[in-house]
Amino acid sequence: MRKMTFLLVAAVATAGVVAFTAPTTGSAEQEAAPVYRIKIFPGYRDWKLISVAHEAGNLNDLRAVLGNDIAVKAYREGKLPFPDGAVIARLSWEYVPSEENNKVFGREQSFVAGPQPEWYLQFMVKDSRKYAASGGWGYAQFDKNGKPANEAKHNTCFPCHVPIKDRDYVFTQYAP
Ligand code: HEC
């Protein structure tokens, strides 16, 4: 009986871990995004912060731009172009008022990160040979469930980043 209980606890615990990490692990089931064949990078949520931004209009989001160690090192050293292996992630959340905070401030002034919008996650991946045709960067976009956007969507990425070619196609500047 004791053994049964142990097995049951172990099974439940394992299921919990799998369910919790499924969208972000880059496991076998993780579907690669079209065009550049990029998968979600495991552990991206623990990467270092490069900067934050707010987009109004239809997007109406708050976003954080994070980098892996290679990207963050290049940013801090002011090194351009970014070296191969640099990866930059863009995460976003709905821009929502915080009643809780407003109550404390005594006025309507507080906005915070709300739920993940549909297109929560984007990556730019530097590989100057593999992605030579798109300025050395591969692009990928995933929804909040980890499903990649379609091919047409991925064909819009590089052309829109071309105006910032002088900074190696990267808009976001390091916030010290
Ligand atoms: C309409 C033009 C446009 C399109 C299309 C576009 N981007 Fe961007 N992207 C921007 C701008 C402007 C920024 C900086 C502002 C911001 O973060 O919202 C940015 C920021 C980023 C960043 C953070 C690094 C940086 O350059 O600042 C990533 C990663 C990114 N985009 C990936 C993608 C991917 C992947 C796609 C395609 C699925 C894509 N972008 C399509 C304009 C665009």
Q: List pLDDT tens digits, range 61-87.
A: 999 999 999 999 999 999 999 999 999
Cα(163) to centroid(ligand 1), Å: 11
- Which of 53, 137, 59, 135 lies closest to 90, judged by CA? 53
The span from the CA of 16 to the CA of 5, in Å, is: 16
- Residue 158: how many CB atoms within 10 A of its CB? 19
Question: What local confidence, expressed as pLDDT, does residue 2 receive?
Answer: 53
Cβ 119 under 6 angstroms from ligand 1: no
For the stretch 30-41, pLDDT in tens is 899 999 999 999
122 lines ligand 1 (CB under 6 A): yes
Ligand 1 centroid distance, CA of 109 (Å): 28
Return the ligand 1 atom nearest residue 123 CA.
Answer: 29
Asked whether 108 and 97 are in contact (CB, 8 A), the reply is yes
Q: 67: CA distance to ligand 1 center in Å?
A: 14
**Amino acid sitting at position 128:** S
pLDDT tens digits for range 159-173:
999 999 999 999 999
User: Is the CB–ligand 1 distance for residue 63 below 6 Å?
Assistant: yes
pLDDT over 70 percentage in the chain = 84
Integer Cα distance of 137 and 127 in angstroms: 6
Residues 122, 137: Cα–Cα separation, whole Å = 13
Task: Reply yes or no on whether the pLDDT at 88 is more than 50.
Answer: yes
| Residue length of the chain | 176
What's the CA-to-centroid distance between 75 and ligand 1, angstroms? 17
* pLDDT, tens only, 124-158: 999 999 999 999 999 999 999 999 999 999 999 99
**Across the chain, what does the average pLDDT equal?**
90
Q: Is the CB of 65 under 6 A from ligand 1?
A: yes
Best residue among 49, 51, 90 to mutate for probing ligand 1, ranked by most atoms within 8 Å of CB: 90
Ligand 1 atom closest to the CA of 122, numbered from 1: 35
